Amino acid sequence: MHFENKTVFITGASSGIGLACAERFAEAGARLILVARRADKLEHLAAELKAKYKAQSKVFPADVCDRIAIDKIFKSLTGPLSEIDVLINNAGLALGKDRIQEALLSDWEQMIDTNIKSLFYITHALLPSMLKRDRGHIINIGSIAGRQVYSGGAVYCATKQAVKAFSEALRLDVNGSALRVTCIEPGMVETEFSEVRFKGNAALGKQTYEGIEALRAEDIADTIFYCATRPAHVNIQDMLITPTAQASASVVYRKTKE
């Protein structure tokens, strides 16, 4: 039980990678703070983790872009829940796959607010208490899109490059403390991600993964758990993980149906 008496804070815990992380860390004995907008999903997850692992979870239905709501969450944490050992900055999304000239500014704004600003501000809010205790691990979810751009992904890719840059700079700023900073950069993971990107069009979402065995959310949760369970002197700075069929952000081998 690597995480007994440890607190893990996960944003975007209602689905996909965040949900799989909640399960992985609950199994290891962690107490959890779970944030996402869909309250029903979070409540259901917390009940399931309690039944399965006797896990203690505190659920906060909130939009990570709402700084007032997020501040309220931090202010309401007391006792061991306020001593966060691992922060998984996972909430994020892509919206649309249009070229710059056709894209909607409202999509850009939502991606920038969620993927960049909320991740930066949540980190800023948590950092003082981690530094004071000289203890903590910040795990940011970047993307292969933060390393290689593709047409139709300009702003999503830019947000993930920002996550990469922020993670690197954060490591410099906390150097000399015991804090660790990791940036996880997945390739294609089959979650709600593509359905959200195509604004609820499930068929288009599904098409994204046709003919390949995509990563599962659990594959990424395993990787994150691995990083979080290295000895204190080991910091995995970043990790790029793709399905075997994905050679780069835009080169994917798809098996065609006979």
> Which positions are annotated as active-site residues?
156
Which of ligand 8X3, ligand NDP, none does residue 27 bind (CB under 5 to 8 Å by kind)? Answer: none
The span from the first CA to the last CA of the chain, in angstroms, equals: 47
Which of ligand NDP, ligand 8X3, none does residue 249 bind (CB under 5 to 8 Å by kind)? Answer: ligand 8X3
In single-letter form, the type of residue at position 146 comes to G
Residue 27 CA to residue 30 CA, distance in Å, equals: 7
3-state secondary structure of 33: strand
Query: Do the beta carbons of residue 220 and residue 22 sit within 8 Å?
Result: no
Kindly state whether residue 222 participates in binding ligand NDP, applying the rule CB under 6 A: no
Helices (H) and strands (E) in the chain, counts: 9, 7
Total number of residues that touch ligand 8X3 (CB under 6 A): 7
Query: Do the beta carbons of residue 174 and residue 156 sit within 8 Å?
Result: no
Per-residue x/- mask for ligand NDP, residues 188 to 217, rule CB under 6 A?
xx-xxx--x--------------------x
Task: Give strand pairing partners of 141.
Answer: 184
- Which parts of 51-90 interact with ligand NDP (CB under 6 A)? 63-65, 90
Among the listed residues 3, 6, 9, 18, the single contact to ligand NDP using CB under 6 A: 18
- Which parts of 154-183 interact with ligand 8X3 (CB under 6 A)? 156
Residue 92 CA to residue 222 CA, distance in Å, equals: 19
Note the residues at the interface with ligand NDP (CB under 6 A): 11-18, 36-38, 41, 63-65, 90-93, 114, 141, 143, 186, 188-189, 191-193, 196, 217
